A and B are shown apart, each in its own frame.
Chain A
Amino acid sequence: MIKKIITLILILIPIKSFALIEVDITRGNLNPLPVAVSPLSIDEKSRKSFEKALNKKNIGEEISSIVENNLSTSGLFNPLSKEAFLQAPDIANLKPRFEDWNLIKAQALITGKVNYVDDKLRVEFRLWDVLAAKEMMALAFTTVPSNWRRVGHIISDKVYERLTGEKGYFDTRIIYVAEEGPKTQRIKKLAIMDQDGFNNKFLTLGNELVLTPRFNPTSQMVTYLSYFKNLPRVYLLDIETGTQEVVGDFPGMTFAPRFSPDGKKIIMSFAKDGKSDIYTMDLENRIVERITNHPSIDTSPSYSPDGKYITFNSDRSGYQQIYIMKSDGSDVNRISFGNGLYGTPVWSPRGDLIAFTKLHKGKFYIGVMRTDGKGERLLTENYYQEAPSWSPNGRVLIFYRETKTNDKGEGFTAKLWSIDLTGYNERQIQTPTDASDPSWSSLLSN
């Protein structure tokens, strides 16, 4: 599966024009850009071949609807209704009649075509600036037909990048904990899905409790906590091969694992005799290093993207607060000073912000602050929510939210939600079961 991902070939067709439309991503979805996503055109022979191979009637339409959905959920774009389109997809891809697209108020237009070539899927697509009547980008891909959803995500990423000036986050996956059963006896399994909720797959059977899976930013490895044989320990899982192994040889509970940005180390907490400290383990030489040594609870560590600093959660002041230290454990500084308790700090992949969970007066908030603790912004308030994880471009946070039960203790649900860094565009992400502890992968293709 992963091998297929790597074999996906990207061919760049030279681009002549320069960007004229710009989408401002710093202000949220106040004015989403009207964009027309014309269905990718397909000849009858190719259409039939794909129908046979993938059991999809029109793969061109399927791929363009992935693009449409991605652009729409980003909150930055407003894909226009196809019913208003005047020009046929094949002709639009050759030379759009810009007056027609202008008429329906489209500012950007995406066209393209799909071919079945030597058992492969070949897609080309173009992005047009309608007002300037110019081509902004043209790209072609060849891949195995089963990769068709990824093609839609890659097109979305290219369009997003061209129009916003920042990398996209659509060709990514989410690993999370799938939950079922009564609150007092929840069954939890590791699950993985595409960022848009498709291709959901369970990775464990639910025989033991599993928590807090996190992606390696550089490979298809995942680290998580498993209660295998009732011994809560940090594990490594290779998604490609399904191989699992316990991380390190600790006599007590290890938990709260995360990878270093280069993917070579795991940072985690080790609890013993009522105190929890932070340790790292080098995955190559298996050397374990102690990073904190304090009688308090030190947990939820997360590296800065350059690997030089670590943010973590400690109650050394009496209550849960957020701290920053150098990666060797020196220079510990508290950065959260607002009202309430602070937990689950996660460093933004852009390096400038730390996302966190805050508990204040019986409400839970997901927020961000600068790395010096200043500029705190609360993005969303609820009965219970926690554990934000950043999209690889640092623009969106995914987290989980639980509902309050009624007088009889019924009505409990746990769901995944995402929100823009701007505080706009809050959305539930559909999962087949209840869900928690999401972790966002890096871009699969770069």
Chain B
Amino acid sequence: MILSKIFRNTLLVLTACLVLSACATKKEIATDIKGSMQGDVYTGTDTVEYLAEGVPDRVFFATNESILTTASRETLRAQAAWLRKNSGINVVLEGHADERGTREYNLALGERRANAAKDYLMTYGISSDRITVLSYGKERPVDSGSNPLSWSKNRRSVTVKAN
């Protein structure tokens, strides 16, 4: 009787553990993906470099899209403020696509993405003379993985100092 009670308690504890740990793993995976992608736009900081403190160098895009997200616009406003402060610096906007598209279309798509970033910088007062656009299409991924997270890191426009 007592034995069986102990046994039952142990079982209960064991079951609880199992349920909890299962929950924990599930939750972890969910936060992981949620924490680094919104829709299929990358929101993490893994590959991001900084032009200055608080000025990320890149923005990310959804599959086949060149629309700037709220986060992207925030990044570009920080870049514009930094460029206004450093009026001697010119930049190259390097547009990229993921590997899941034909090469030629991706070259055009990279150009369209970099131009979306350029247009936004210009609306915040940066002269087009200071900005060069360069598309690499799918030729220069930062992440060589073949999965949605890797692809999301590769769909990007990176602002690079030209001088």
Contacts and interface: CB of A to CB of B under 8 A. Distances in A.
A184 B154 CA distance: 10
11 contacts: A183-B141, A183-B144, A184-B140, A211-B103, A299-B104, A299-B105, A299-B108, A344-B104, A384-B99, A387-B102, A409-B143
Contacts of A412: 144
A211 B119 CA distance: 28
B57 interface: no
Contact of A386 (B103, B135, B146): B103
A313 B99 contact: no
B135 A232 contact: yes
B121 interface: no
Contacts of B116: 274
Interface string A390-431: 000000000000101101011010000000000000000000
Q: Which of B66, B105, B119, B135 has the most CB of A within 10 A?
A: B105
A252 B104 contact: no
A346 B112 CA distance: 24
Q: Which of A253, A300, A407 has the most CB of B within 10 A?
A: A253
Contacts of A386: 102-103
A253 B114 CA distance: 12
B128 to A, nearest CB: 10
Q: Which of B66, B119, B133 has the most CB of A within 10 A?
A: B133
Interface residues of B, number: 29
Contacts of B108: 255, 269, 271, 276, 297, 299
B107 A255 contact: yes
Q: Which of B66, B104, B144 has the most CB of A within 10 A?
A: B104
A271 B101 CA distance: 18
A156 interface: no
A343 interface: yes
Contacts of A344: 102, 104
Interface of B: 64, 66, 99-105, 107-109, 111-112, 115-116, 119, 133-135, 139-146, 150
A412 B150 CA distance: 14
B111 A182 contact: no
A319 interface: yes
B107 A232 contact: yes
Contacts of A209: 139
Given A184-B141, A274-B66, A409-B150, A387 B115 contact: no
Contacts of B144: 182-184, 405, 409-410, 412
A252 B107 contact: no
Interface string A274-307: 1110000000000000000000010110000000
Contacts of A359: 100-102
B152 to A, nearest CB: 14
Given A232-B107, A256-B107, A300-B102, 9 more contacts: A184-B140, A253-B135, A255-B108, A256-B104, A297-B109, A299-B107, A313-B104, A409-B143, A412-B144
A184 B99 CA distance: 11
A319 B100 CA distance: 14
Contacts of A357: 102
A359 to B, nearest CB: 7
B112 A402 contact: no
A125 to B, nearest CB: 42
Contacts of B100: 359, 362, 384
B102 to A, nearest CB: 4
A231 to B, nearest CB: 8
A3 B143 CA distance: 47
A437 B139 contact: no
A274 B139 CA distance: 18
Given A184-B142, A404-B146, A405-B146, A320 B104 contact: no
A230 interface: yes
A253 B108 CA distance: 9
A273 B145 contact: no
B112 A274 contact: yes
Contacts of A409: 143-146, 150
A383 B100 CA distance: 9
A269 B133 CA distance: 16
Given A184-B141, A253-B135, A343 B102 contact: yes
B61 to A, nearest CB: 13
Q: Which of B100, B103, B145 has the most CB of A within 10 A?
A: B103
Contacts of A336: none
Nearest to B107: A255
B139 to A, nearest CB: 6
Contacts of B150: 409
A387 B106 CA distance: 13
A352 B135 CA distance: 35
Interface string A156-187: 00000000000000000000000000111110
Contacts of A405: 144-146
A253 B143 CA distance: 25
A363 B99 CA distance: 12
A230 B93 CA distance: 12
Contacts of A320: 101-102, 105
Contacts of B101: 320, 341, 343, 359
A384 B115 CA distance: 28
Nearest to A274: B115
B105 to A, nearest CB: 5
